[in-house]
């Protein structure tokens, strides 16, 4: 009977996936927040970004320590949020588990009564449950994670106390040691942060309309690699016959129409699928499959390279046309190009690009026809494809470059102004930027944090 219980457990995880609310947390501007990480001993660790190295005077030390303390306090608040979320999810797990227990006793009754059941049916049922067995460790890991977060919380409090004590007798403290301690914790926490920020797309909310301007087709974006203080907006109206990029210092300047600079590119662009990444604009040169990298700082093209075999000039556009053959985008993992080739029968090819040289580092062939795709965007190395640029569009297909597998899905996206000519994820803002029929819109995404059962935790 015990075996039956064990087999049933994974069911609860499947149910959890179905309606988990999974709110997202976002570090506030300037915070360097790292969440729980598991070290070699399975302990939960926390840290903050270390202060600068060159500190001589006692005053500077004390100032740095104050800052460190403040950061820790800020972090604690974030952890509170994270903790709340985890506990809520955890409650689902517990609730489902008790339902499973109920099921278990029902099964007990059935089994005791099994003379009335056909053996064959019973075996079939058991077989189905066995198929679910591999999911079991996932649930266990989930519970462990929840525990880790509360441990992390404790540790942060502790560190905070220690720092307060140090601050009081600053002269006696070995600053270097503190520095080393903080630095040492950082790497492990970074891993953990990645673990908690990446996940599977569950829901798209919005849009909010930021501005109404331009033609029906265009692109607007911010740089996901920019520092949190830098919130420049770039604006590229129209999909053809244009090479003027407008820059705004902030979203509010963009809304108010206060331009800070304009750039006159040396070549026209094609389509609306450009991306700004780490200070450079990457775009598809008109009537070619050449990708151009233009540095805003130097105002020059630094690199140009043909994307081998990629269809261009409306050979393999998205459903709306508009020379949208080559879609450039960035996510947590870097820079990507989405396009189609004859070799892959017009189906979408995903390539990861070197941001400096624009060389293809790696490619994946999907079986989704580019001409049947409305738009696509990348989150955490998974490509999500919508089935239309018109009303009723939904995210219909996803392809994970990590596992080289695809999945059909059904996530609605509210196409408020009926025609979508651009949709791209920004990893810093955790938002989708869209150009919706002459409206510049933003969507929020909800990602479900997936816990791995095997490697890389
Ligand atoms: C902590 O948060 C406050 C308010 O959000 C902010 O003003 C302050 O700069 C933050 N401190 C650090 C060290 O990040
Ligand atoms: C708190 O810090 C002290 C001093 O570093 C350490 O001895 C103790 O084990 C810590 N407690 C926890 C729960 O981390
Ligand atoms: C961004 O650019 C800077 C120099 O401008 C470089 O050092 C850094 O490695 C770049 N980051 C990425 C992710 O390409
Ligand atoms: C996204 O969520 C944040 C936090 O809940 C909210 O402030 C923001 O307005 C939302 N943006 C959109 C586009 O819905």
- 9: closest CA among 94, 87, 123, 71? 94
Q: What is the largest CA-CA distance in the chain?
A: 85
Q: 74 in ligand 1 pocket by Cβ < 6 Å?
A: yes
Residue 309 has pLDDT above 80, yes or no: yes
Identify the residues whose C-beta falls under 6 Å from ligand 3. Answer: 225, 278-279, 355
Instruction: Tell me the mean pLDDT in the region 97-121.
Output: 59
| pLDDT confidence bin for 423, thresholds 50/70/90 | very high
Calculate how far, in angstroms, residue 159's C-alpha sits from the geometric centre of ligand 1.
Answer: 18
| Nearest residue by C-alpha to atom 3 in ligand 2 | 158
Residue 200 has pLDDT above 50, yes or no: yes
Instruction: Tell me the mean pLDDT in the region 411-429.
Output: 94
Spell out the SS3 assignment of the chain: CHHHHHHHCHHHHHHHHHHCCCCCCCCCCCCCCCCCEECCCCCEECCCCCCCCCCCCHHHHHHHHHHHHHHHHHHHHHHHHHHHHHHHHHHHHHHHHHHHHHHHHHHHHHHHCHHHCCHHHHHHHHHHHHHHHHHHHHHHHHHHHHHHHHHHHHHHHHHHHHHHHHHHCHHHCCHHHHHHHHHHHHHHHHHHHHHHHCCEEEEEEEEEEEEECCCCCEEEECCCCCCCCCCCEEEEECCCCCCEEEEECCHHHHHHCCEEEEEECCCCECCCCCEEECCEEEEEECCCCEEEEEECCCCEEEEEEECCCECCCCCCCECCECCCCCEEEEECCEEEEEEEECCCCCEEEEEEECCCCCCEEEEEEEEEEHHHCCEEEEECCEEEEECCCCCCCEEEEEEECCCCEEEEEEEECCCCCCCEEEEEEECCCCEEEEEECCEEEEEEEEEECCCCCCCCC
Residue 82 has pLDDT above 70, yes or no: no
- Contact partners, residue 328, CB within 8 Å, separation at least 6: 273, 274, 275, 282, 283, 284, 291, 335, 336, 337, 338
Ligand nearest to the CA of 330: 3
Calculate how far, in angstroms, residue 158's C-alpha sits from the geometric centre of ligand 2.
Answer: 6
pLDDT of residue 9: 22
pLDDT of residue 208: 95
Q: 209-218, pLDDT tens digit by residue?
A: 999 999 999 9
Residue 254 has pLDDT above 90, yes or no: yes
Instruction: Tell me the mean pLDDT in the region 101-130.
Output: 59
Domains and CATH numbers, the chain: 2-197 (no CATH), 201-448 (2.40.128.630)
Q: 433 in ligand 4 pocket by Cβ < 6 Å?
A: no
Q: 7-50, pLDDT tens digit by residue?
A: 222 222 222 222 222 223 333 222 233 333 333 443 333 333 33
What is the spatial distance between Cα 384 and Cα 200, in angstroms, rounded to a whole number? 10
What is the spatial distance between Cα 219 and Cα 205, in angstroms, rounded to a whole number? 20
Q: 81 in ligand 4 pocket by Cβ < 6 Å?
A: no
| pLDDT confidence bin for 147, thresholds 50/70/90 | confident
Average pLDDT, the chain: 76
Residue 85 has pLDDT above 70, yes or no: no
- Between the ranges 14-23, 123-132, 410-419, where is the mean pLDDT highest? 410-419
pLDDT of residue 55: 34
Q: Measure CA 183 to chain center.
A: 26
Looking at the chain, the whole-number percentage of residues with pLDDT higher than 90 is 50
| Nearest residue by C-alpha to atom 12 in ligand 1 | 71
Q: 28 in ligand 4 pocket by Cβ < 6 Å?
A: no
Calculate how far, in angstroms, residue 333's C-alpha sits from the geometric centre of ligand 3.
Answer: 13
When comparing pLDDT for 67 and 95, which is higher? 67
Task: Pick the atom of ligand 3 nearest to 278's CA.
Answer: 1
| Nearest residue by C-alpha to atom 3 in ligand 3 | 278
- 433: closest CA among 172, 223, 161, 184? 223
pLDDT of residue 64: 66
Question: pTM to 2 decimals?
Answer: 0.61
Q: 154 in ligand 2 pocket by Cβ < 6 Å?
A: yes
> What is the b/e burial string over 155-187, where b = at least 16 CB atoms within 10 angstroms of the residue's CB?
bbeebbeebeebeeeeeebebeebbeebeebbe
Calculate how far, in angstroms, residue 250's C-alpha sits from the geometric centre of ligand 3.
Answer: 22
pLDDT of residue 158: 73
Q: 354-396, pLDDT tens digit by residue?
A: 999 999 999 999 999 999 999 999 999 999 999 999 999 999 9
- Of 9-18, 140-149, 238-247, which gets the smallest average pLDDT? 9-18
pLDDT of residue 456: 37
| pLDDT confidence bin for 170, thresholds 50/70/90 | low
| Nearest residue by C-alpha to atom 6 in ligand 3 | 278
Q: 158 in ligand 2 pocket by Cβ < 6 Å?
A: yes
pLDDT of residue 202: 84
Instruction: Tell me the mean pLDDT in the region 266-272.
Output: 97
Calculate how far, in angstroms, residue 279's C-alpha sits from the geometric centre of ligand 3.
Answer: 9
Calculate how far, in angstroms, residue 377's C-alpha sits from the geometric centre of ligand 1.
Answer: 33
């Amino acid at each position: 009977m015990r075996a039956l219980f064990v087999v049933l457990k994974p069911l609860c995880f499947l149910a959890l996936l179905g309606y988990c609310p999974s709110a997202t947390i976002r570090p506030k501007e300037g915070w360097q927040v790292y969440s729980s990480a598991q070290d070699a001993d399975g302990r939960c660790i926390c840290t903050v970004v270390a202060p600068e190295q060159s500190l001589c005077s006692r005053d500077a030390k004390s100032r740095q320590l104050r800052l460190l303390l403040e950061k820790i306090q800020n972090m604690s608040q974030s952890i509170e949020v994270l903790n709340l979320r985890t506990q809520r999810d955890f409650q689902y797990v517990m609730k489902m588990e008790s339902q499973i227990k109920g099921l278990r006793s029902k099964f007990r009754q059935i089994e005791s009564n099994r003379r009335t059941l056909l053996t064959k049916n019973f075996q079939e049922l058991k077989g189905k449950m066995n198929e679910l067995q591999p999911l079991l460790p996932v649930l266990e890991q989930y519970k462990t994670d929840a525990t880790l977060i509360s441990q992390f919380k404790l540790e942060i409090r502790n560190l905070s106390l220690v720092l307060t004590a140090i601050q009081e007798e600053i002269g006696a403290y070995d600053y270097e040691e503190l520095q080393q301690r903080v630095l040492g914790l950082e790497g492990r926490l970074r891993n953990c942060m990645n673990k908690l920020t990446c996940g599977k797309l569950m829901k798209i909310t919005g849009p909010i309309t930021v501005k109404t301007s331009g033609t029906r087709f265009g692109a607007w974006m911010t740089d996901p690699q920019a520092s949190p203080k830098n919130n420049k907006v770039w604006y590229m109206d129209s999909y053809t016959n244009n090479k003027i990029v407008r820059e705004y210092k902030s979203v509010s300047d963009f809304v108010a129409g206060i331009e800070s600079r304009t750039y006159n590119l040396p070549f026209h662009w094609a389509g609306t699928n450009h991306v700004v990444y780490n200070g450079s604009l990457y775009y598809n040169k008109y009537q070619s499959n050449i990708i151009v990298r233009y540095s805003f700082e130097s105002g020059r093209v630094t690199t140009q390279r043909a994307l081998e075999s990629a269809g261009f000039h409306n050979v393999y556009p998205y459903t709306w046309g508009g020379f949208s053959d080559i879609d450039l985008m960035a996510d947590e993992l870097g820079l990507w190009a989405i396009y189609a080739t004859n070799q892959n029968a017009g189906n979408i090819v995903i390539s990861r690009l070197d941001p400096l040289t624009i060389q293809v580092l790696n490619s994946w062939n999907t079986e989704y026809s580019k001409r049947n795709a409305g738009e696509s965007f990348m989150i955490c190395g998974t490509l999500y494809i919508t089935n239309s640029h018109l009303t009723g569009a939904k995210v219909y297909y996803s392809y994970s470059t990590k596992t080289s597998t695809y999945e059909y899905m059904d996530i609605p996206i509210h196409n408020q102004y009926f025609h979508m000519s651009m949709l791209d994820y920004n990893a810093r803002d955790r938002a989708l930027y869209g150009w919706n029929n002459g409206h510049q819109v933003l969507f929020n995404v909800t990602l479900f944090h997936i816990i791995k059962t095997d490697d890389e935790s």
